[in-house]
Structure 1
Amino acid sequence: MLDLLTGDAQAFLTKTWASRVHVHHTEPAALTGLLGLADVDRLLTSSAIRTPAVRVARDGAVLPESGYTRGGSLAGRPLTGLVDPAKLLGLLDDGATVVLQGLQRYWPPLADLVAQLELELGHPCQANAYLTPPGAQGFAVHSDSHDVFVFQTHGTKLWEIDGAELLLEPGVVAYLPTGTPHAARAQESMSLHVTLGINQLTWRALVERAVAEAVAQVPGTHLPAGYLQDPSVLTEGLAPHLAAVADAVRAQAPGAVAERQVRRFLTSRPPRLAGSLVDRVALAALDRDTRLERRPGVPCVLEDADDRLRVLLGDRVLVVPARLRPALEEVARRDTLVPGDLEGVLDLPSAVVLCRRLVREGLLRIA
């Protein structure tokens, strides 16, 4: 799905990452199908969506939640922050912009896209959508603390980006690096656009984490009394601790620090289990020729651990016998397979058992 957004994803991201604004054109249907006006209608008027998944802005100001929410109850327990469709549509009629936040948590097409983008970049990502009535502008000129991909799925919007203008319409993707000043105004019809925010992990954060591991070895004992009158007491006590931290930092192998970062990222993503209930029902019939596919956005990274094998699955680690490495390497390199494809490295009963396990774990799904 990522190539629908960017064409050649790797080339596009490499070229644009350090550049200023970049515009890319693709087939409109590749983007409009991710979140359409009817989808937003259903979320706002026919679901129990709550704040903070929704916020509203008008003329550069965020409106109070009390103006578009209500209370309710479920199984006798109170619910707060429920979006009131009548109030919300009234604000929309009056020129307000409705923002759907964190769509990667509850809208499957964008959840798939964000998960794939995270694996492509190695940075956490998020998806928001902005619904703006004709001629209205939700926010004044501002800049974001993260990189942004933006694309239109309904109507058109005129963007002012770093002093230049860009008309965003379905099929156009814009990339705005961190800190790029921008504002946008809907044109003649209702406008719906999606932003993909890239919350960059930095070299500083990686180094700080490595240094923090060394600092954690320093004793937590109190500073000596009397150091205000005699700072040399601190000097004498501090010197060996600083030397120990410096030695510990120097002793850290960059490769080991990098491996810990990879493991941390690939075990801390949100679970990717959409459709797993249906798959579980179908597992009993899984056989040699059952067509399986890799679940979008789920990694399959293998790490040796003595006589075991760790499989990094995005939100957790699966530990299996090391003898399964050839079979899992085969799974990792394929987008689709049947259990019979693993017969070169496993006997058929073992291949079926492994595939069933990988379906349960969410790495594979039944096509």
Structure 2
Amino acid sequence: MSLKRCVALPPDEFRTAVFGHSYLHTRAADLAADFTDLFSPQALEELLSGGLRTSSLRLVRDGVEGDVARGCVAESGDAPGAAPFPDTDGLRQALASGQTLIVRSLHRFHPPVRRFAHELAAELGHPVKVNAFVTPPGSQGVDLHFDVQDVLVLQIAGDKRWLLRTPPLPDPLPAHAWFDVPARRREEMRAAARPLADLVLRTGDSLYLPRGTMHSPMTRDTLSIHLTVAVSTITRHDLLGELVREAVDDEWMRVAVDTNGLMSDPRLARELLGKAGERLAALAADAAPEDVLWAVRKAAFREQTPEPVPILPVPKDVRPRGVHRLRAGVYFHTASVKDGIQLSVGNRRVRLPASVSPFLTALHRDQVADTAGLTAALGEDNARKVAAALVDIGLLLPPSAPWDATTSQEAVRPDGAPGRESDPDHS
């Protein structure tokens, strides 16, 4: 379990007593293992020399962006404006000059981090993104600030000092993003924050920060590499936003208003706002909670990349190995419709026989894709067709192709909990 490897507390205790409430520094000695299987100096060097583009990299020092494409040569045949491959000589010089190198979105292209992010998102119920920060000795990327995501810091190599201060704005939303706030307001919030902790993360340590916690990280006399695991929490504001989106079907809500008249008559304006609130409350009372939650979750996870699928077709004369299994990072929703059920996976939908419902229920409960249950309910031919439809919609992975020497170990239950394997931008 990803959460269990990051904190020494039992996962349930962390979720109820710490998550969203208070910072938590966990020392390497209290954890079962380090994080070098996720990322390491060697992994960094391999990524930078193995085809990564500069669009996945940033350079920053004291809050000022560096030119990560400096010295890079465009690849012939690339589309105009395409990000070039990085110049490792230039990156080495940038680090030597005190700039912090940020490797963005490791959860999209680095398999160990992708598996970790899928599992952690499933355990927490919120989307997860991961960046790597490489900071040379005696340097600082960004001064005192806060993030609008909850953050887990995993110290990969070296050590780093973290100054923490209390949140000047509890539970900030994306609209409160620090660098979108006017400079004067940022200074006011810095002044309002009170000292919270002064600590050092050493190799193998972790640090959890609730969103809004002011922090100022800086290296000492060693180079530091850490992963920033950003958890974009789904909030009550997101639920409200979905209700407002559903209000487009309310004819009363679509009527134009006379803003000039309302500006000159505050009483009438207040009555109108009150009426809008009443109609929104009525909509909330009549809405199906499962549909609202599905819409909110689908929107929240829209940038969460699922486990990749095989792109090559299986030769017709060769039988694939293995069994179908759940695809990591995929969430689905079912609804009863006439003569069957409707399965939604992201923005894709398929209508299935009602007899498939127990199978999908078992996916939620048992975390594995037992296609034998489909065969028992539908017969072999129909079960094969339904399994193919579930592969096509992106819920299940097909059996591995004969030429596939390795099989991914990512598996997740569709409601967000971690699954069993069925085959052998921040600080």
Q: TM-score range by the shorter chain?
A: 0.7 to 0.9
1:202 partnered with 2:235: yes
Q: Distance in 2 between matches of 1:169 and 1:356?
A: 49
Indicate the SS of the match to 1:200: coil
Q: What are the residue-to-residue correspondences of 1:48-63 with 2, within 5 Å?
A: 48-51=52-55, 53-58=56-61, 60-63=62-65
- Which residue of 211, 214, 219 corresponds with 1:186? 219
**Larger deviation, residues 151-160 vs 265-274:** 265-274
State the partner residue of 1:264. Answer: 295
**8 Å CA contact 1:294, 1:336 repeated in 2:** yes
1:173 partnered with 2:178: no
Indicate the SS of the match to 2:360: helix
1:245 partnered with 2:279: no
CA RMSD of superposed structures (Å): 3.4
State the partner residue of 2:258. Answer: 223
Distance 1:205 1:49, change over 3 A: same
Q: Distance in 1 between matches of 2:68 and 2:128?
A: 29
Taking only the aligned residue pairs, the percentage that are identical comes to 25
State the partner residue of 1:109. Answer: 112
**8 Å CA contact 2:294, 2:333 repeated in 1:** no
State the partner residue of 2:50. Answer: 46
Gaps of 5+ in 2: 166-195, 400-422
Distance 1:110 1:91, change over 3 A: same
1:27 partnered with 2:59: no
Q: For residue 12 of structure 1, report the CA deviation from its aligned partner.
A: 1.9
**8 Å CA contact 1:28, 1:172 repeated in 2:** no
Which one has a larger percent strand, Structure 1 or Structure 2? 1
Q: For residue 85 of structure 1, report the CA deviation from its aligned partner.
A: 1.9
**8 Å CA contact 1:71, 1:78 repeated in 2:** no
Indicate the SS of the match to 2:74: strand
Distance 1:187 1:344, change over 3 A: farther
**8 Å CA contact 1:71, 1:79 repeated in 2:** no
Q: For residue 192 of structure 1, report the CA deviation from its aligned partner.
A: 1.2
State the partner residue of 2:80. Answer: 78
Q: Distance in 2 between matches of 1:114 and 1:182?
A: 23
Q: For residue 69 of structure 1, report the CA deviation from its aligned partner.
A: 5.8
State the partner residue of 1:277. Answer: 311
Q: Give the letter aligned to residue 165 of structure 1.
A: D
Q: Distance in 2 between matches of 1:282 and 1:161?
A: 57
Q: Distance in 2 between matches of 1:155 and 1:32?
A: 12
Distance 1:364 1:222, change over 3 A: closer
Indicate the SS of the match to 2:95: helix
Q: Give the letter aligned to residue 395 of structure 2.
A: L
- Which residue of 94, 97, 103 corresponds with 1:94? 97
Q: For residue 43 of structure 1, report the CA deviation from its aligned partner.
A: 2.3
Gaps of 5+ in 1: none
**Larger deviation, residues 114-123 vs 212-221:** 212-221
What are the Cα deviations for residues 308-347 of structure 1, in whole angstroms up to 9, with x where unaligned?
3233434644432222111222333334455335444332
Indicate the SS of the match to 1:65: coil
Q: Distance in 2 between matches of 1:134 and 1:243?
A: 57
Task: Normalising by structure 1, report the TM-score.
Answer: 0.81
Distance 1:324 1:112, change over 3 A: same
What are the Cα deviations for residues 76-133 of structure 1, in whole angstroms up to 9, with x where unaligned?
5324443322211111122221011222233333233333333433433321110112
Distance 1:4 1:307, change over 3 A: farther
Indicate the SS of the match to 2:54: coil
Q: Distance in 2 between matches of 1:259 and 1:202?
A: 16
Q: Distance in 1 between matches of 2:96 and 2:344?
A: 48
Q: Distance in 2 between matches of 1:120 and 1:254?
A: 29
Q: Distance in 2 between matches of 1:224 and 1:362?
A: 47
Q: Distance in 2 between matches of 1:189 and 1:243?
A: 59
Q: For residue 64 of structure 1, report the CA deviation from its aligned partner.
A: 3.1
State the partner residue of 1:299. Answer: 331
State the partner residue of 2:18. Answer: 16
What are the Cα deviations for residues 13-32 of structure 1, in whole angstroms up to 9, with x where unaligned?
22212421113442334x22
**8 Å CA contact 1:339, 1:351 repeated in 2:** yes
Q: Give the letter aligned to residue 281 of structure 2.
A: R
Distance 1:76 1:130, change over 3 A: closer
Task: Normalising by structure 2, report the TM-score.
Answer: 0.71
